[in-house]
């Protein structure tokens, strides 16, 4: 069974550039979550979607971050413009709907802003 | 405000020993408490989870103990093995918030052979 697929696995870019991270959830999972992991702040939920609709984006740090889910099998997280402090590992996770279902994580995108 | 506090930050255990990781939560509305295991370069993976209507759940060598009155829960790994060396995260969520997980800070476990 294919799990959650994230791309790219690694991204290195210069400060000020636009960064787009991609996620393909597990087929049939109607909930999708974007997390950021850093040593200082641990695992933080940025935003989550139910049935392609953003439900809670209170974790999105600022307007430079945006996320979309145009269909049930694809989501993007965009940072524009990127800053040094955005360096982190970004995870996408998906689950069945209706709350408190196991979340299945991808292997993440390691983002380095130079 | 940290809603889920996890300790210790790191833990070293001898092979065959018992690993114990503790978490405390603040929000009494939480109704789901999972533990995730993360290996380097990988995403977290669900290990075991408990709901507040039971005090203990066991799956193989892994046991969650839950104390609702104290707002605490813990993970016990019996007969710890070097392959258990990983980072462990506790988490909490509310059913009516769509599974939004609040994670603890993580515990880096090292099991020495």
B15-29 tens-digit pLDDT: 999 999 999 999 999
Query: Distance, in angstroms, between B42 CA and closest chain A CA?
Result: 5
Residue of A nearest to B34 (CA): A102
Q: Is B95 on the interface with A (CB under 8 A)?
A: yes
**β A19-24/B107-112 pair status:** unpaired
Whole-number pLDDT of residue A97: 79
Which of A4-13, A76-85, B90-99 is the least confident region? B90-99
Say which residue the tokens 């800070």 belong to.
Answer: B105
- A17-57 pLDDT, tens digit per residue, is 999 999 999 999 999 999 999 998 899 999 999 999 999 99
Q: What gap in Å lies between CA B61 and CA A95, rounded to an integer?
A: 25
Mean pLDDT of chain A: 94
Contacts of B44 in chain A (CB under 8 A): 43, 91, 105
Nearest to A42 among B93, B95, B103 (CB): B103
Least Cα distance to A75 among A1, A5, A2 occurs for: A5
Would you tell me which residues 11-40 of chain A have a C-beta closer than 8 angstroms to some C-beta of chain B?
31, 33
What is the pLDDT averaged over residues B48-60? 94
* Cα dihedral sign, B94-B95-B98-B104: positive
Mean pLDDT of chain B: 94
Token readout for A93 is: 């996770």
Cβ contact B49–A103 (<8 Å)? no
- pLDDT bucket at B95, cuts 50 / 70 / 90: confident
Give the residue with greater pLDDT, A101 vs B62: B62
What is the pLDDT averaged over residues B36-40? 97
Query: Distance, in angstroms, between B43 CA and closest chain A CA?
Result: 4
Cβ contact B99–A105 (<8 Å)? no
Q: To the nearest whole percent, how much of chain A has pLDDT over 90?
A: 86
Q: Is A5 on the interface with B (CB under 8 A)?
A: no
Q: Is B40 on the interface with A (CB under 8 A)?
A: no
Q: Is B96 on the interface with A (CB under 8 A)?
A: yes
- A14-26 pLDDT, tens digit per residue, is 999 999 999 999 9
* Cβ A92 vs Cβ A75: under 8 Å: yes
Whole-number pLDDT of residue A99: 67
* Cβ B4 vs Cβ B92: under 8 Å: yes
Query: Distance, in angstroms, between B33 CA and closest chain A CA?
Result: 9
Q: To the nearest whole percent, how much of chain B has pLDDT over 90?
A: 87
pLDDT of residue B41 exceeding 60, the answer is yes
* Cβ A31 vs Cβ A94: under 8 Å: yes
**β A10-13/A109-113 pair status:** parallel
Q: Is B40 left (phi over 0), alpha (psi -120 to 50) or beta?
A: beta
Whole-number pLDDT of residue B71: 95
Whole-number pLDDT of residue A1: 63
Whole-number pLDDT of residue B99: 76
Interface test with B, best of A103, A105, A108 (most B CBs within 10 A): A103
Q: Strand (E) positions, chain B? A: 4-7, 10-14, 19-25, 33-38, 45-50, 56-59, 62-67, 72-77, 86-92, 102-103, 107-112
pLDDT of residue A114 exceeding 60, the answer is yes
Least Cα distance to B36 among A30, A104, A51 occurs for: A104
């Amino acid at each position: 069974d294919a799990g959650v697929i994230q791309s790219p696995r690694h991204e290195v870019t210069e400060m000020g550039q636009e960064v787009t991270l991609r996620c393909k959830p597990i087929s049939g999972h109607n909930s999708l979550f974007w997390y950021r992991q850093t040593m200082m702040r641990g695992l933080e939920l940025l935003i989550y979607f139910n049935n392609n609709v953003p439900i809670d984006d209170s974790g999105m740090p600022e307007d430079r971050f945006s996320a979309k889910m145009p269909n049930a099998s694809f989501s993007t997280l965009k940072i524009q413009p990127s800053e040094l402090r955005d360096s982190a590992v970004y995870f996408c996770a998906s689950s069945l709907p209706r709350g408190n279902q196991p979340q299945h994580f991808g292997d993440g995108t390691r983002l380095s802003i130079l | 405000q940290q809603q889920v506090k996890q300790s210790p930050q790191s833990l070293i255990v001898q092979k065959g020993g018992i690993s114990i990781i503790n978490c405390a939560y603040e929000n009494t509305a939480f109704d789901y408490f999972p533990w995730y295991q993360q290996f380097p370069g990988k995403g977290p993976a669900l290990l075991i989870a408990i709901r507040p209507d039971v005090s203990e759940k066991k799956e193989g060598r892994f046991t969650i103990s839950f104390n609702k009155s104290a707002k605490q829960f813990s993970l016990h790994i019996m007969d710890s093995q070097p392959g258990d060396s990983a980072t462990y995260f506790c988490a909490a969520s509310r059913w009516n918030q769509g599974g939004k997980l609040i994670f603890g800070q993580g515990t880096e476990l090292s099991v020495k052979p």
